[in-house]
Chain A
Amino acid sequence: MSVATFLSDSVAVAENEFRQFRRNRSAILISLVVLPLFFTISLGAGRGAAGTTFSPTADIPIGFVDNDNSLASLRLWQALTSSPDFHNLIQSYNEQATIAELGTKRIYAVIVVPKDFQNDLENGNQAKLILYTDDSEPGVSDQIQSTLTSYVQNFDPNVEVQPHLSQVQRQSVAGVGIVAKGAVFAGFNIGLTAVLAIVQIFAAFYEIAGGISREREDGTYARLLVSPIPTGSIVLGKTLFDILLCIIRTFTVLGISVYGYGARPSTDLFTLLALSLIVALVTMGIGFVAASLKLGQRAVVIIEFFLILFLFAFSGLIIDINLLVGITQVIGNLLPFTYAFDALKRTILLGRPLLSLTFDLEYLIGSILASYGIALVLLHVSRERLIT
């Protein structure tokens, strides 16, 4: 078969895909609207947009019990209430009653200033603050503790108005400052790396594996297989169709991230698009392999769910891959998506040129070729099985 025939068959398959897609309102909605919008908006709402700085502890109701009633404890109260991190400090006089409120959602922590607080400070001893926390709220206890510690590290009871602490002073322990260097990311940049990849993986797998499965259940895939179109053209045609959807999705996610949440990617549009397509192509390859296994539509969706959950744990999305232990690190290092997330972070966050990420690119392209190769063989071998 000539290359021209092969390509014209592929284009015909792609056209057929588009026609079917255009007629399927729920597919358009899920693929181009729900998935990109839902993931981007929910993550953006959780993290906050660029320019809108917020302190996680600012609005958390926290009890403050002053058992010392001294000038030092009063200044500590003033320092905390005038800070941007403790807007909801509630003064209380009964320690036991206030602690009893923990776990009721009325307050989430209690700061107790013990007796002799001022005496200790005056005598050059280390004074103590007791922080009772509702540790059933994940992350809240640590957040309040670290924010409070950063204030009291540099607290001076002799000063009426405590100086404003810079980020450097907050990170530092008494006596040794830490000057942090390294790229600081604007607004939603970290969210963009995750959303872009997850949306492409989620959608591409569903469109390829789910699409073939739907066609098989409708009986149209059997007709496609008995037509004189080779398997390669079917695979290429479906890939071309999905590439266009991936491009639209990339622009949707990028548009919401940049204009809605103030993301400022440190790379150019071409790199973003190229990486987004590479992620989609890796997923499509795996999708074709899954399609050759004669799975039902619902099974495809469920596999997809497990795949994404798997990626959350093993591909460096939540935990850096170097922090995984034992076999989990080996699994992480084998997953092509690990290198996709790495490349996205290095380009979007650090501004590295795409072509400098040689190993990531080699691994990803190798994975695409391998998965497409396996898929072609499997689809060819299981041709008869897929018709019946």
Chain B
Amino acid sequence: MHLIFFFVFAGFCLAGAINLLLQSHPTISALSLIVVMVSLAVLYLLLGAEFLAAAQVIVYAGAIMVLFSFVIMLLNASREERTMGSSAARVVGFPAVVVILAVIATVILHAQGLGVARLSDNLSNVKGQTNLDLLGVELFTKLLLPFEVTSILILIAILGAVALARHDGEEQERTGEE
């Protein structure tokens, strides 16, 4: 059953990613990216990361992709025109991708001591302690400072996004005054 789940959702993942590349309309690309993210959430569940599976669906497939589709609709993005890209991408980019994939795959396939994943596996050795308990304790004791710094980062990002997106309106107001 675990094998079947893995193959089905790994297949969805790859199919969604390839569809993202092949489609020329950004809306359809965004929808295939949502398929990839939800399938990844199922794979996280198989690997025993329940909290991350939920966060993946809520944050990635929910918040971030809604933002993407909102911007696509706001800017009325239409079909992209296909060009062959820059010559640098053709000459350096694609061989580099092939080399990266080949190197990573060789390293993984020759790696010793890589384990197996079972559905019954749990990161905790203590009975009754869930994945969320472990994450919460680690996050709010040892890693409290990085956690708080991240909240400041998000606050700055919100302010930056607002400032960037409304910049044009201010200029129009200024030219209107003149």
B is bound to A: no
Interface residues in chain A, defined as those with a beta carbon under 8 Å from any beta carbon in chain B: none
Interface residues in chain B, defined as those with a beta carbon under 8 Å from any beta carbon in chain A: none
